[in-house]
Structure 1
Amino acid sequence: MEELYLEAANYLNCENLDFEKSYFICDACSSLLGSEDFETKGRDLLIRSIDASSTFHIGVKPMLNDLIECAGLYPYLGDVDNEISALRKEYHKSRYIEDVYLHSSQQQISEILEQSKSVVLSAPTSYGKTLLIHELVSSHRYRNIIIIQPTLALLDETRKSLSKYKDYKLIVSTRQEANHEGGNIFLFTAERVLEFNDFPSIDFFAIDEFYKLSITRDDDRAIVLNQAFYKLLQLTKNYYLLGPVVTDLEDEFKSNLNFEWVKTDFATVAVNEHYVGEYRKNEEDKKKMDLYNLLVGLDEPTLIYCSSPDKTKELASDFIKFLLNQALSYPSEQNSHVVEWCRINIHDSWSFNDFLLQSIGVHHGEMPRHLGSTLVDLFNNGDIQFLFCTATLIEGVNTSAKNVILYHRKKGPKKIDFFDFKNIAGRAGRMRKHFVGNVYKMEKEPDQLSFNVDVPIISQKNAPDDILMYMNQADLTQDSKNQIKKYDEVDLGLMTLVKQNSGMPIDGQISLVEAILANEESLRGLLCWTGYPKYEQLATVIDLAWTHLLRNTDTKGRVWSSKQLTFYTNLYFQSKSLGAFIARLINKGNSPEDAISIALSTIRTWFQFKLPKLLITVSSLQEYVFKENSGNYNYYATQIEHGFLPPNLSELIEYNIPTSLAKKFEGFISEDDSIEAIISKIKNVDWGRLGLIPYEELLLKRLIE
């Protein structure tokens, strides 16, 4: 059978196929599809045949259509000429989404979900797993839905695609209130699920990339995701967990929860894997030249996977130099409106500007959210041809990439595993856009290992204390009770507070309180402050948080010590804007490029995420120690987190509005306005009075659509 596949696939390279070869390929597809062991190969060959269908002899076109139906690839099925086929095609047409057809495996899962059964699905990247969420939403079967996704980039993509369902209120921040009159869709990270305490009656939840529940892969957010999963299971027993290439689930997970476990290899695109070569450490220059020569030979949109933000910039910068040396150019004036904004609000000489004007982009987690979203749009629209990216884009965000290049074999400092590799490779090709994708491997792919997902909040095997302490006593096994019995000796009031500080390490909080108590008098003046701290007070709080509350797995961005974080925080507070922060960093001796990298990274990693949570946690713990004489850091933490905007106005960041643009509407907004009221007021403001540039107008038009 393997020989049959290879022979037929080889014929597909011909420019024009005669009847005999065309028939042979179709017959090979039929034979492979009819074999249980080779069905996946048969579907792969058929997808390649669809891609090359213009070269087929016209006499076999009806046979090709029959094979598409036989394989269950109804989204690719053309007009049918008999009543039975027409009925089958109609059966796979979405009942709720216009002009959408489900493939046969999607239809199977959809029917299970429609029976109010839960599903855990492992399927290839091209399967179309998130389409089933859209199918459920559009059916209006459930009134209140929670969707957890691992990255803000993925949540942003989901928000945009679900915004057409006007019967639901989309809730994307913990400041928003649920609509108690109609339906709600909560688009949250795991952290926000834990922080939100006013859920209405929840009917259904979905967890995308559910494999991140496993603690065996050293994911720094696995503990929080487990806690969120546990919280959601208290709210509803109807759920859909989705992810790629999971081998199996641990027995305890299967036996303790009621769901349908579906593992399928059903793919809707075929992928060519090209091995470019392996390179020694001293061959980096050769590796780059091979990459750049490969890129200029590719005509379709291409993702280049890199290990870190710095590597995306380094490779893109050197690619620009390569193009100049080769007298090559990929000019893209369509991106000039974005470049204009960057020059005004970030820096005139930022290398990112040069990249965009040559149809090159860099995408990573340090980018401002609106720029990250804009880059994906530009790439999908063809205005960027080469996108150097990190795992932030690889994990779930759909793009129009025809080609993916694995340049590095690391994700940050860690080596990627086979699971990461399949996730990266799965970005090549796109259903109904590129039938066949290409993966170019410039590193040896990791060894293929089975990956069984264990969920410690369910199995309680090897579960950290932070997970077990989050659970109800009645749900704990005797071994788990014994494991956490040591906390019975801790003051009940402190343990109650520690549990309330969701996502923060339990032992770290306890040790932090012990550290304060051991130096209570000397720390009193340094910790008991409200409003704005003096430099020494800020340094003390951050040092305590750094020492006691950061886990070994926590990402720290470009900050290496508590002193450095204190310095950047104070400088940011003096600056009050991204542009001013960058200018001050330059004045402190950093190059413009380094200053930009430091500013973007520190704002995204620390100021908008980690630091406010750390400040509020330390605030609550010093309040426990000092009681009525304590301080309160909440106002300061809120100022940092929201970029010195009123908290309600800062919610516009969730909708890809930069802080600098949101500030222009500060005079039109009341402090008690909801985000819906703010968007309505923005719609009615005379934008001509605000001196907006084209990119800002584009972002606002997308906001009010």
Structure 2
Amino acid sequence: MTDIFEECSAINDLLQANEKIEARNRLIFLLDVIGKTEQAYNTLLNHLIRESGLYPYLDPETSSWQDRFVYESFKVDIGQNEPVTLHSEQSLVLKHLLDGDNLALSAPTSFGKSLIIDAYIAIKRPKNVLILVPTIALTDETRRRLSKKFSAEYKIVTTSEVALGENNILIFPQERAIHYYDKFEQLDLLVVDEFYKASSAFDKERSPALLKAMLKLGEKAAQKYYLAPNIADLNDNPFTKGMTFLRMDFNTVFLEKHEEYKDINKDVQKKNDALIRILGKHKTKSLIYAGSYAGVDSVTTLLIDNTNKEDSQLLSDFSAWLATNYHPNWKLTNLVKRGVGIHTGQLHRSLSQIQVRLFEEEKDGLQTLVSTSSIIEGVNTSAENVIVWSNKKAHLKLDDFTYRNIIGRGGRMFRHFVGKIYILEEPPSPSDTQLELTFPDELLADVDDEKYKQQLSDKQLAKLLQYKEEMTQIIGQESFERLRNEGALISSDTEFIRTIALAIKNDQKFVRALANLHAPSSEYCAWTLSQKILKLVPGGWDVGYAKFAEFVRVLSSNWSLSVPELLDQLSAHDITIDEFFKLERNATFKLTALLNDINVIQKEIAPDQKMDISSYIAKLSRAFLPSCTMALEEYGLPRMLAKKIHASGLINFEDEDLDLHTAIDRLHTLRLEILEKVEGLIAFDRYVLDYFYDGITLQQSRAVGKQ
């Protein structure tokens, strides 16, 4: 048993020797021991907590008056009924922001970077705040947090084409944010969460869009706050110019590492046995990082074969719900009975949210989540146990930055002082991450060569000038300048835009073929997609042109048919449920963006043909679901529940004038009637509705009604 006084003495010696990190780690470990044995804090322990800067952990009831004074002094308003105490480094960051500084902050996952945003809004009351987040899932999580605190005073906006209110908090992934560039004169605060993703080294596919948003929106921002974990240094670049870089290694939990890989020694059977043993030993929540979709499949197969079903009515109801609404033979349908969920970036948004909610349940919920890197990119959840099953990210070796981000999900303030990290494959060598933000070639179409010529290489300048010359020849100088100034094109890749323009210019039948898109369920529509449009994309996003086109054609029945019925129609093309999610995501994001640029360019090249496919693009962007149904899915209301509510006659989702915030207001007003009158609601439907309603507070509904 730990001798508390002796351990306190050792911690004090470390503090006196300025070994603050080691002292803090030992102190957190001691707090874990004391918590598990339900012992009271004494005055000495509270004093060490204060000296370590961990002010939220102070117990004011057993503190000296000096330590109690510190606990009260570091309390701030974060928009809740009661103020909360910040730790010393949080308070320092908040002071910088309140002083008007532009900050690029690197701090551990457990630091509490988001709490500082809440405190800033509560204290400064800015008029317009825009928060860029990396994923849709994080959009909803952030919205739920801020809605509970600020929806009475702010309009919370998370989707495109929403009218702004007098005061606004906008929360978007980067692809949506740029559409609001012209909708406000000034931003009081621009927040970029996980801004390391602006580097192609960490997210090659999406970094150009984030850089574009940072560049454009940064011009309108009075103040900027960029957040990321585990960055050692930041290069001099135009995207963070004039910002103060703060690196803080202040942790609020302790990570206890178990290097299982040394005994496993790359033996697959030993690794399998170790995983089952670790999960069997603990009855606490576990996150399993599986590295790739293939890794998720391997781990989940192993768990189905080697774990027992949970005695949980809630999980049994969830399994039945999945069988009805997705597929009875889907692996997830079987997994959840065993207390295991799957978190990847391709699942329906509401389905990922529901699983995270079940994972957060203290009792009867999911005990384990098996994940790709989506768990560190798409949601702020954590667990007592993190199991690193794979040392790869997709097909590449895991880098130290991502590895530290993964294990940073272990532990949580006030719940798990100690996060247990089980490493089943050899981790990457420790290294400091130097974040390099540079202009990629894919951003050249949006770059003013005069303004940024110092940041561009000679090769990039030559490429940009050639692009301008060629596009001027194809569509004319006036059109080219106007499109660039308006930011009408979603893609910023000069080569891709040139490819689109030349295809339209050189193929006289191209524009006429676009008319087929107005009959989305027809074979002619599929032909246009496969033979004219998808061929512009090298590789067709890793799926055959004809197969993808046929998927989009069948998807056009998304509102009238259930997911199982759609899968039945797609079975002839060997499209599984897992592939369904991937293809729907590609259709609603990538194909929509491509069609937008085609539509914009063809209007300049062939204005006499008066072709406009914007209505088809709008339908495709919401997966052919009506009105605001797709947006409500981001709020946690699955399409199958929206269909039941629509069938009841309580809300007409097919009303084209029904916008998202009006729908939310009606859903809130009709809550009791929906629960009583909608036919066919099963037990888990009601659980999902409770989760959805938890995210649309009464204050938000009233605020929307006013604005």
Q: TM-score, normalised by structure 2?
A: 0.87
SS at match of 1:636: helix
Alignment partner of 1:302 is 2:283 = no
Alignment of 1:253-264 (within 5 A): 257-264=241-248
Shifted more, 335-344 versus 382-391: the winner is 335-344
1:333 and 1:278 map into 2 onto residues whose CA distance is 40
In 1, are the aligned partners of 2:555 and 2:623 still within 8 Å (CA)? Answer: no
Question: Which residue identity is paired with 1:569?
Answer: V
For 2:545, the equivalent position in structure 1 comes to 562
Aligned pairs (5 A) from 1:229-628: 229-252=214-237, 257-277=241-261, 283-323=267-307, 328-382=308-362, 383-395=365-377, 397-456=379-438, 463-478=439-454, 480=456, 481-482=461-462, 484-490=464-470, 491=472, 492=477, 493-494=479-480, 496-497=482-483, 499-520=487-508, 522-523=509-510, 525-529=512-516, 531-532=518-519, 534-542=522-530, 544-549=532-537, 556=541, 559-574=542-557, 576=559, 577=561, 578-586=563-571, 588=572, 590=574, 595-603=576-584, 605-628=585-608
Offset at residue 351 of structure 1 (A): 2.4
Corresponding position: 1:52 with 2:56 = no
Structure 1 residue 309 displacement after superposition: 3.3
Cα separation, 2, equivalents of 1:515 and 1:279: 58
- Aligned-partner residue type, residue 683 of structure 2: P
CA RMSD of aligned residues (A): 2.7
Alpha-carbon shift at residue 440 of structure 1 (Å): 0.8
* 1:695 and 2:687 aligned: no
For residues 492 and 305 of structure 2, the distance between their equivalents in structure 1, rounded to whole angstroms, comes to 45
Contact kept in structure 1, 2:376 and 2:406, CA below 8 Å? yes
**Counterpart in the other structure of 2:212:** 227
How many pairs were matched up? 662
Contact 2:285 2:383 in 1 (8 A): yes
Deviations 1:229-266 (A, max 9, x none): 01111111301111101010113469x72333211110
Per-residue displacement from partner, 1:191-242 (whole Å, max 9, x unpaired)? 0111234533311011111111122335311111000001111111301111
Q: Offset at 1:469?
A: 3.5
Which of 129, 151, 154 is 2:135 aligned to?
151
Alpha-carbon distance between aligned partners in 1 of 2:175 and 2:564, rounded to the nearest angstrom = 29
Which segment drifts farther, 368-377 or 192-201?
Answer: 192-201
Tell me the secondary structure at the aligned position of residue 647 of structure 1.
coil
Question: CA separation of 1:318/1:187 partners in 2, compared to 1, >3 Å: closer, same or farther?
Answer: same
2:189 to 204, 208, 213: 204
1:441 CA drift (Å):
0.8
Show the counterpart of 2:701: none
**CA 1:398–1:112: 2 relative to 1, 3 Å:** same
Structure 2 gaps of 5+ residues are 698-707
Is the CA contact (8 Å cut-off) linking 2:599 and 2:614 kept in structure 1? yes
Shift of the 585–279 alpha-carbon distance from structure 1 to 2, 3 Å rule, reads farther
After superposition, the Cα gap between the structure-2 partners of 1:700 and 1:322, relative to the gap in structure 1 and judged at 3 Å, is closer
1:589, distance to aligned residue in structure 2 (A): 6.9
2:156 partner SS: strand
Q: Kindly state the Cα deviation for residue 475 of structure 1 after the two structures are TM-superposed.
A: 2.4
Aligned to 1:4: none
Letter in 2 for 1:336: S
Amino acid at match of 1:512: I
Q: C-alpha distance in 2, partners of 1:81/1:620? A: 66
Query: 1:575 deviation in Å?
Result: 5.4
Q: Retained in 1: the 8 A contact 2:287–2:383?
A: yes
Q: Distance in 2 between matches of 1:154 and 1:258?
A: 28
Residue 155 of structure 1 deviates from its aligned partner by 1.6
1:148-187 matched pairs, under 5 angstroms: 148-164=132-148, 165-166=150-151, 167-179=153-165, 181=166, 183-187=167-171
Deviation of 1:677 (Å): 1.7
Alignment check: 8 A CA contact 1:581 1:599 kept? no
Partner amino acid, structure 1, of 2:91: Q
Counterpart of 2:175 in structure 1 is 191
Q: CA deviation at 1:353?
A: 2.0
Give the Cα separation in 2 of the matches to 1:221 and 1:399.
23
Contact 2:526 2:550 (C-alpha < 8 Å) held by counterparts: no
C-alpha change, 1:281 and 1:174, in structure 2 (3 Å) is farther
Q: Quote the offset at 1:545 in angstroms.
A: 4.4
* Cα separation, 1, equivalents of 2:373 and 2:582: 15
Quick check: 680-689 or 342-351, which moved more?
Answer: 680-689
Supply the distance in 2 between the matched residues of 1:337 and 1:275 (Cα, whole angstroms).
37
Distance 2:241 2:288 in 1: 40
Deviations 1:45-92 (A, max 9, x none): 111111112589989832111100111101110025433222211111
8 Å contact kept, 1:195–1:502: no
Letter in 1 for 2:452: L
1:542–1:615 CA contact under 8 A, matched in 2: no
Distance 1:627 1:681, change over 3 A: same
Conserved in 2, the CA contact under 8 Å of 1:213 and 1:226?
yes
> For the residues of structure 2 that align with 1:258 and 1:473, how far apart are their CA atoms?
21
For residues 271-330 of structure 1, the C-alpha deviation after alignment (integer angstroms, 9 at most, x for no partner) is 01111116999843442222112211122100000123343243223212112xxxx443
- Offset of 1:615 from its aligned partner? 2.0
3-state SS of paired residue (2:446): coil
Which consecutive aligned stretches of 4+ in structure 1 deviate over 6 angstroms post-superposition?
A: 55-60, 278-282
Question: Tell me, what secondary structure is at the counterpart of 2:42?
Answer: helix
Match of 1:3 in 2: none
Q: Which consecutive unaligned segments of at least 5 residues does structure 1 have?
A: 1-14, 457-462
Q: Which residue of 2 aligns with 1:672?
A: 657
Measure, in 2, the Cα distance between the counterparts of 1:549 and 1:281.
43
SS at match of 1:228: helix
Structure-2 change in CA distance of 1:199 and 1:622 (3 Å): closer
Return the letter of the residue paired with 1:231.
Answer: K
Residues 129 and 189 in structure 2, CA contact (< 8 A), matched pair in contact too: yes
CA distance in 2, matches of 1:235, 1:301: 43
Once residues 126 and 641 of structure 1 are traced to their aligned partners in structure 2, the CA distance between those partners, rounded to angstroms, is 35
Tell me, yes or no, if the aligned pair for 2:43 and 2:64 is still in contact at 8 Å. Answer: no
What is the rounded CA distance, in whole Å, between the counterparts of 2:42 and 2:455 in structure 1?
Answer: 64
Q: Is the 1:122–1:264 Cα contact (8 Å) retained in structure 2? A: yes
Q: Deviation digits for residues 418-477 of structure 1, max 9, x if unmatched?
A: 111001000000111100001111111112222222222xxxxxx224424323455212
Q: Deviations over 1:138-170 (max 9, x none)?
A: 224311100011012212211111111121111
Partner of 2:700: none
Q: Does 1:663 align with 2:646?
A: no
Match of 1:8 in 2: none
Determine if contact 2:46/2:59 at 8 Å carries over to the other structure: yes
Q: What SS is found at the alignment partner of 1:357? A: helix
CA pair 213-321 structure 1, distance change in 2 beyond 3 A: same
Amino acid in the other structure paired with 2:87: H
Q: Give, in whole Å, the separation in 1 of the partners of 2:422 and 2:124.
A: 42
Secondary structure of the corresponding residue to residue 52 of structure 1? helix
**Paired residues for 1:24-43 under 5 Å:** 24-36=6-18, 38-43=19-24
User: Hey, what's the Cα distance between the residues in 1 that align with 2:609 and 2:263?
Assistant: 62
Alignment partner of 1:632: what SS? coil
Letter matched to residue 142 of structure 2: T
